[in-house]
Amino acid sequence: MDQPHADAPPPPPLLALEDLRLRLRTARGALPVLHGVSLRLARGETLGLIGESGCGKSMTALALAGLLPEGAEVEGALRLDGEQLLGAPEARWCRLRGARVGMVFQEPMTALDPLQTIGRQVAEPLRLHRGLGRQAARAEALRLLERVQLPQAAQRLDAYPHQLSGGQRQRVLIAAAIACGPDLLIADEPTSALDAGLRREMLQLLRGLAEASGMALLLISHDLALVGEHVERVAVMYAGRIVDEGPTAAVFARRAHPYTRALFEARPRLGRTAPGARLPTLPGRVPPLHALPPGCAFAPRCARAAEDCRQAVPALRPLAGDGHALRCLHPWPDEARR
């Protein structure tokens, strides 16, 4: 039997986002939000997108789901299985959302319709995209709610969102998002309103669903510990750009980009933060989008910044042969790992 050629190209990615540039219409004029964001995600792969609030994570997710605000100006390419979707008509996106692209939003109470029962909301994509009748969709909705481990799922079918806890509502959102077996699931801060135990349980559920079905998972979060446990690759965003990306183990072990390292150092650590002491913080703040500094946007907050950092935006360049790349002129050396 012929063996595949050792240098055969890898299969094309499920999702390819290339040089995405986004501007939003405001009273000040067109406001740049994303500056050349590129991401690739293969079938069955898990990718974490992390960074502080305001760095562009959620806008990237909205672009991937075709949910950008009216009047948004976009450039670049967004391909799902090779199909260019940037600029696609809303009718095309309506056929894709729910069927091939699922999304779990940050606040389940606002994402769920308070006037519709849980069963009806989970059944809706089944009726819309799969053409199931009312009873068949209800039966499948029950199966999905049991799959996401909603307690007393049969009794909850006729409940309303306000009658469920935060964790239960999040399970309902996940059930609705995976109802039609999407190729890509985007989870935007899906656990931010939950306690630590429920956060871990919810991410284990998402990871297990992705592995069982072969769908790709994009997890957007600020929780470094949970991201590190549940995704294969990670991309770090700052001020609308990817500044650090690669295998999760490599990125988190090296902490070579000063921003990645600063995020780790700002974490409160059990047993290492003295009682009554101030919690560690990352100095400064993400610059406003209308007033980004010249060069590297992180330079004003960076302990390793030099004059050349302020001259031009650093290119994303490989750090090692394992797929780790970063956008930095003066990364932390390997011996500085901790």
Q: What is the CATH number of the domain that holds 119?
A: 3.40.50.300
Residue 276: its pLDDT value, please?
63
Q: What is the pLDDT of residues 171-226, one digit of tens each?
A: 999 999 999 999 999 998 877 766 777 778 888 888 888 888 889 999 998 888 88
Is 278 a member of any domain? no
Supply 177's token pair: 């998002």
- Percent of the chain having pLDDT more than 70? 91
Strand partners, 233: 47, 247
Whole-number Å distance between alpha carbons of 165 and 296: 43
- Span 34-52, mean pLDDT? 94
Residue 107 has pLDDT above 60, yes or no: yes
Q: Which residues form the domain of 130?
A: 42-66+88-231
What strands lie across the sheet with 83-84, from one edge to the other?
Answer: 29-41, 15-26, 73-80, 83-84
Q: What is the pLDDT of residues 260-273, one digit of tens each?
A: 999 998 876 655 55
Is 62 a member of any domain? yes
Binned at pLDDT 50, 70 and 90, residue 105 comes out as: confident
Q: Write down the mean pLDDT value for the chain.
A: 89
- Percent of the chain having pLDDT more than 90? 65
Is 287 a member of any domain? no
Q: What is this structure's pTM?
A: 0.89
Is 292 a member of any domain? no
Whole-number Å distance between alpha carbons of 61 and 153: 30
What is each CA distance from 289 to 22, 51, 59, in whole angstroms?
A: 12, 15, 13
Strand partners, 80: 15, 83
Is 21 a member of any domain? no
Is 101 a member of any domain? yes
Is 173 a member of any domain? yes
Is 289 a member of any domain? no
Q: Strands, DSSP E only, in 101-260?
A: 101-104, 184-188, 216-221, 233-238, 241-247
What is the domain count for the chain? 1
Residue 34 has pLDDT above 90, yes or no: yes
Residue 272: its pLDDT value, please?
59
